[in-house]
A and B are shown apart, each in its own frame.
Chain A
């Protein structure tokens, strides 16, 4: 299982500036990885390209061992004609009911299963959306700001649970939260702004799992390494 880009370049139609220019990186094996960078640097564009261009013969994206790549983002909505609980029931594959129940508990969504999606808070909406993706079959799940509007403590709980429940999968966590990516991610693809001309580079994260002990010195060093890109 590997995710690799070799000189990926992309320019939006009617734009003269490439949003992604000569991007090269490689992420090996399952793991909770991240894409980090300031707004507008191309994180979401990269995510969409990973999904759309993976199987093209001339693609600069290689994903051996990964059949299914799913992309979820924080503005998705569930249909409003039924409760969120019944929607989850409908999209939950056979044999994953236990997983569903566990995720609902961990994500603290049990009290809102009878509610319609529009009645949930933004944080609850994002968590509900993430659960339904986690229930599907995938090799790589791209989580684009999927935990926005969720408090820090619960975000930590969720990320640790995801890592524990899906050890054999690869995740690409798109986030602006430096501490979070530094703490919990295995590999971090840091994208810098084109004007800074620092390109992109990989940083090894601390990859903490459940029951971890924070090593402050190495944690700070990781964050510094990431910050160096800006």
Chain B
């Protein structure tokens, strides 16, 4: 028995010895068949590149995670959206020209995982295509419908930050593009939370894309909207 205990202790020590190794994670929300999926998004594609992005590897990763939390507008789910969750950024090329970025995130829906992907213009950061990969929802068919997904084309993160302003200061403004997004008519009532999760996922996706690909170019929009909201809050 003593020998057995010694061996168990050895195994435990081996585990501890491995524990201090650099703690990186494998890839989280990825396209299952990137070559085919990216080709369908960009028929003129000649090559693509995958880059793993992890907030812990950024110089101020923890601050970025806190910034993400604030900009998403609420707590991040500890299972779906942890600090060490890795992301994959796809860059699509035609020869030497970058045609677009593709990026996906996981968000919790009422029935499970919702994987929200967008392709974005590399110059303007505007969404060119929106699509779901994994969608564990009783309203999956309605959410996947072309007319549902096409609403999101042409939006950018700036529109979400504008929405924050209009929602606080000028509800119902015709300039508020995000407020005009409508859930599909055929969406079952019990799947309504999955529409809300989709919007939240899209917003999170664009915020991360702003960090990973666009050097946080949309920050002035966030700050302007925040200032407006604070000012509104201070009014008697």
Q: Do A and B bind each other?
A: no
